[in-house]
Amino acid sequence: MLGRFRHGYVAPAVLLVAGLLYAPFLWTAYLSFTRYDGLEPAQWIGGHNFAKLLEDPALLTSIRNTLIWVAGTMVLPVGLGLLVAVLSYDIRGGAWFRVPFLLPYALSGAGLAMVWSPILSHDGIANRLLGVDTAFLQEEPVNTVAMLLVWTWQQLGVNMLLFVVGLQSIPKAPIEAARLDGAGSWALFRFVIWPLMRPLTAVVVGLALVASLKTFDIVWVLTQGGPGRNSETLAVTMYKETFVASDYGYGSAVAVMLTVVTGLASYLYLKRQVAR
Amino acid sequence: MFRSRVVTLGVAALVLTACGGGGGEQPQKKTELTLYNDKGAWTKYFDEMGALSKQSIGLGMKPTGYTDSAQYQAFIKASFRTDVKPDLFTWQTGGMLEEIVRQKQVAETTDIWQQAIQAGDLSKDLQPYYTIGGKQYCVPMNVAYWGMFYNKKIFDKYGLEAPETWDDLIKVADTLKKNNVKAFYHTSVLFSFVWFEQLLAGSDPDLYDRLSTGQAKYTDPGVVQVMEKWKSLIDAGYFINPGDKTDPGDVLKNGKAAMVSFGTWFNTSMTQRDLKAGEDYDFFVIPNVNPALPKTSMIFESGPLCSLTKGADPAANKKYLQWWTTAEAQEKWATSRGDVSANPKVSIADKALGTVTKDAGSGKYRLVNRYFEATPPPVLTAALDGFGKFVTEPGSYKEVLDTIQKAADEYWSTHQ
């Protein structure tokens, strides 16, 4: 009955997706091959922006910092989230123990940075409490690590919550069987719980991977990528080149590179997880 | 089947209509204009101006203030291609104004300028900053002269006077240092250029001008010497930590630093903190580093208030800009913020600022366009990052100059 016009039903959705997702992406990809300041017509310059990427020392710093964010996110918010989930699971009052870890998640990235700015600034609370004189937001890579710790403070809770859900969904039978076979706590976790949680871990790690690759707001509010450009991440570089320097072409080239890296990392990671 | 086809076409038409512009719109008659600006903290003062203009010329004004200038500039540039256009908007003189004038986006204001100069509401000295290709664009939203605000109580405590020579200034800094007081404020973000422009303009203002137009290089010996001078001041321990996030108004109020160099608009920060000029704080013109220069170099800035060529009601926009230059409007705009005015008829309440404005108007100083306006945007971005790095690691000055010069080479290779 629908005949050849049946596709018409999906047209509004397709139009929206094409207009709001595909078109901007293709436009950005096109701009990455141009010189464009947001005013004069874009001028085609071929691969010049990508060649410039390769020899830009600021971009190398940006890539290094982004890698610190990715590695740090896996160890801290994800790793500690798992640890807190496992330690607080199946104990009396465990839910109450977990609540404080969840509260910071209510803050937005920018709000989070505003809260931590007076703590980490040179004359801030952290230096006074610790009795040290450390430039937490100025020295590299201390500033990236400091911001990563702030990020951990916020993100640990949600990762913990996801892991708790994973733990709760594990069937009791294999755990009891392992206990009867004399498995200790570590062996139980390593050989029974961890493998059973793999599907959920894949999701948590995948989300954390993408979130860390596009780290922007916390860095922008706390250091604006500085001093100099020493705490920039790829997303901050993309923003600065596009909107601060008005070099839309080069900013778009960074955006394309970031998209390719994020897409590739997610694809390779998920492919490996699915293969298992 | 036919019905489904009609529904689909209908939906698609609605979507396209929603996405499309309102082309072919007739000019409207507006009674209230929108004024987009990147001075979010001044909303209260813009509101007061809106109320006054409604009363005086029957044309109200509603401000929309941004606090992030990058976001603001992106919005204004995007508005040139969409139907969401501001009636009035603030911008920057120099390369940024030239950029948008070249695109024929900004309404010409030559006749407003001619009438205002004739009526004595605008000074001829200001005109070059608003002139592109022999025509004027926009009107001065504000003007500011840069100098040193100082904490008078600290100066009085240690028996210090406002310095008249560079050596005097260093003696003041030394006395403060002996008493464990940091002499100067500086920062690694945004205003990281302040000491560079001051030291360069006070050492060799011609070199400053050549640098702004790409005729000199950041790696030239004169510029390197300025960075070395700046480094020596940092090494001497005169500055507070550049990573200190305390608002500079509070830095001066609390005596964290005894002196803060900013434009006269910084007086608004003092007013907002209930500080009294002449009692709690005061202002002096920063002496030249090079005493042999014939005139003291003074950093000067003027921010434009503009309207678009394709505005919704060009006549109303023009009427508003014309009113903005009048003594009535400027008296209110300057006094409410405790600032100076572009209109020479306006009396400045603050004695020190009043003297500076009068002296600047009489040609006592060599006015030097602020680095922020004088430098092309891509070079400025590299320079702000570079100076931010330098104040944190003063030993990196040669690397910093090389990086800025690289950006300058790239810019001037296509813009000479």
Give the model's pLDDT for residue A276. Answer: 64
Nearest to B1 by CA among A11, A6, A12, A15: A6
Question: From CA A180, how far away is CA A171, in angstroms rounded?
Answer: 15
Give the model's pLDDT for residue A2. Answer: 58
Assess whether B215 and B282 both reside in one domain. yes
pLDDT top residue among B159 and B347:
B159
Nearest Cα of chain A lies from the Cα of B40 at a distance, in angstroms, of 17
- Lowest pLDDT segment from A69-78, B56-65, B340-349: B340-349
Give the model's pLDDT for residue B1. Answer: 44
> Contact A121/B5, CB-based, under 8 Å?
no
Give the model's pLDDT for residue A3. Answer: 67
User: How far is the CA of B389 from the CAs of A145, A225, B85, B320, B393, in angstroms?
Assistant: 18, 11, 37, 43, 6
Q: Of B342, B361, B380, which closes a domain?
A: B361
Assess whether B52 and B125 both reside in one domain. yes
Q: With bands split at pLDDT 50, 70 and 90, how would you rate the model's confidence at B362?
A: confident
Is the confidence at residue B24, as pLDDT, over 80? Answer: no
Contact in structure between B224 and B279 (CB atoms under 8 Å): no
Give the model's pLDDT for residue B18. Answer: 37
Assess whether B273 and B190 both reside in one domain. yes
- Helices A198-213 and A57-73: crossing angle in degrees, nearest 10, is 150
Domain count, chain B: 2
Assess whether A103 and A232 both reside in one domain. yes
Assess whether A202 and A112 both reside in one domain. yes
Assess if residue B392 is contained within a domain: yes
Contact in structure between A231 and A33 (CB atoms under 8 Å): no
Give the model's pLDDT for residue B337. Answer: 84
Assess if residue B162 is contained within a domain: yes
Is the confidence at residue B75, as pLDDT, over 80? Answer: yes
Buried b (16+ CB within 10 A) or exposed e, B167-192: eebbebbebbeeeebbbbbbbbbebb
β-bridge pairing A34-35 and B32-37: unpaired
CATH number at residue A82: 1.10.3720.10
Question: Per mean pLDDT, which of A28-42, B19-33, B340-354 is the most reliable?
Answer: A28-42
User: How far is the CA of A264 from the CAs of A239, A261, B55, in angstroms?
Assistant: 21, 5, 62
Assess if residue B2 is contained within a domain: no
Domain count, chain A: 2
Assess whether B106 and B73 both reside in one domain. yes
Question: Which residues of B fall below an 8 Å CB-CB distance to A?
Answer: 1, 4-5, 7-8, 11-12, 15, 19, 70-71, 73-74, 77-78, 80, 99-100, 102-103, 105, 188-189, 241-246, 256, 377-378, 381-382, 385-386, 388-393, 396, 400
Assess if residue B15 is contained within a domain: no
Q: What residues of chain A score a pLDDT lower than 70? A: 1-3, 275-276
Assess whether A190 and A243 both reside in one domain. yes
A184 three-state secondary structure: coil
| Closest partner CB to A246 (pick from B241, B243, B377) | B377
Assess whether A35 and A78 both reside in one domain. no
Instruction: Enumerate the β-bridge partners of residue A34.
Output: A44
B322 three-state secondary structure: helix
Assess whether A19 and A66 both reside in one domain. no
Assess whether B72 and B133 both reside in one domain. yes
Interface A-B: count of C-beta contacts within 8 A: 111
pLDDT in tens, B146-196: 999 999 999 999 999 999 999 999 999 999 999 999 999 998 888 999 999
Q: What is the CA radius of gyration of chain A?
A: 23
B390: buried, middle or exposed (CB in 10 Å: 19+, 13-18, 0-12)?
buried
Domain containing B281 equals 145-299+369-415
Assess whether A30 and A65 both reside in one domain. no
Give the model's pLDDT for residue B26. Answer: 56
ipTM confidence? 0.75
Assess if residue B133 is contained within a domain: yes
Assess whether A158 and A268 both reside in one domain. yes
Assess whether B160 and B295 both reside in one domain. yes
Assess whether B160 and B249 both reside in one domain. yes
Which chain B positions have a beta carbon within 8 Å of A227's beta carbon?
188-189, 242-243, 388-389, 391-393
The percent of residues above 90 in pLDDT, for chain B, comes to 67
Assess if residue B231 is contained within a domain: yes
> Contact A137/B243, CB-based, under 8 Å?
yes
Contact in structure between A144 and A232 (CB atoms under 8 Å): no
| Closest partner CB to A230 (pick from B12, B256, B389) | B389
Assess whether B375 and B279 both reside in one domain. yes
> Contact B243/A40, CB-based, under 8 Å?
no
Give the model's pLDDT for residue B10. Answer: 45
For B338-376, the DSSP string reads T---SSTTSPPSSHHHHHHHHHHHTT-EEEEE-HHHHS-
User: How far is the CA of B253 from the CAs of A75, B42, B154, B248, B250, in angstroms?
Assistant: 44, 20, 10, 8, 5
At residue B284, what are phi and psi to the nearest 5 degrees? -135, 155
B145 three-state secondary structure: strand
Contact in structure between B303 and B91 (CB atoms under 8 Å): yes
Return left, alpha or beta for A124; rule: phi > 0 is left, psi -120 to 50 is alpha, else beta: beta
Assess whether A8 and A112 both reside in one domain. no
CATH number at residue B357: 3.40.190.10
Assess whether A19 and A143 both reside in one domain. no
Sign of the alpha-carbon dihedral angle for A7, A8, A13, A16? positive
Assess if residue B9 is contained within a domain: no
Q: With bands split at pLDDT 50, 70 and 90, how would you rate the model's confidence at B2?
A: very low
User: How far is the CA of A30 from the CAs of A146, A244, B56, in angstroms?
Assistant: 37, 20, 50
What separation, in Å, do the N-terminal and C-terminal C-alpha atoms of chain A show? 44
For tokens 């040669």, the residue is B398
Is the confidence at residue B21, as pLDDT, over 50? Answer: no
Is the confidence at residue B403, as pLDDT, over 50? Answer: yes
Assess whether B252 and B401 both reside in one domain. yes
Assess whether B269 and B348 both reside in one domain. no
Give the model's pLDDT for residue B338. Answer: 82
> Contact A243/B73, CB-based, under 8 Å?
yes
Is the confidence at residue B51, as pLDDT, over 80? Answer: yes
Assess whether B282 and B138 both reside in one domain. no
pLDDT in tens, B293-310: 999 999 999 999 999 998
Which chain A positions have a beta carbon within 8 Å of B390's beta carbon?
228
Is the confidence at residue B14, as pLDDT, over 50? Answer: no
Assess whether A19 and A73 both reside in one domain. no
> Contact B188/A40, CB-based, under 8 Å?
no
Assess whether A87 and A20 both reside in one domain. no
Contact in structure between A72 and A65 (CB atoms under 8 Å): no
Nearest Cα of chain A lies from the Cα of B154 at a distance, in angstroms, of 21
* Residues 6 or more apart in contact with residue A177 via CB below 8 angstroms: none
* Residues 6 or more apart in contact with residue B126 via CB below 8 angstroms: B140, B143, B302, B342
Contact in structure between B198 and B227 (CB atoms under 8 Å): no
Assess whether A16 and A131 both reside in one domain. no
For A149, the enclosing helix (H) or strand (E) is helix A142-168
| Mean predicted confidence (pLDDT) in B67-71 | 83
Assess whether B248 and B384 both reside in one domain. yes
Assess if residue B281 is contained within a domain: yes
Give the model's pLDDT for residue B106. Answer: 94
Q: Does A199 touch chain B (CB under 8 A)?
A: no
Which residue does chain B place closest to A4, by CA atoms? B1
| Mean predicted confidence (pLDDT) in B390-406 | 95
Amino acid residing at A49: N
Query: For testing the chain A interface, which of B16, B240, B385 should be mutated: the one with the most A CBs within 10 Å?
Result: B385
Indicate the DSSP class of residue A254.
H
> Contact B388/A228, CB-based, under 8 Å?
yes
Nearest Cα of chain B lies from the Cα of A25 at a distance, in angstroms, of 17
Structure tokens at B87: 């009636």
Domain containing A17 equals 3-44
- Lowest pLDDT segment from A65-69, B96-100, B326-330: B96-100
| Mean predicted confidence (pLDDT) in B353-360 | 84
Q: Does A12 touch chain B (CB under 8 A)?
A: yes
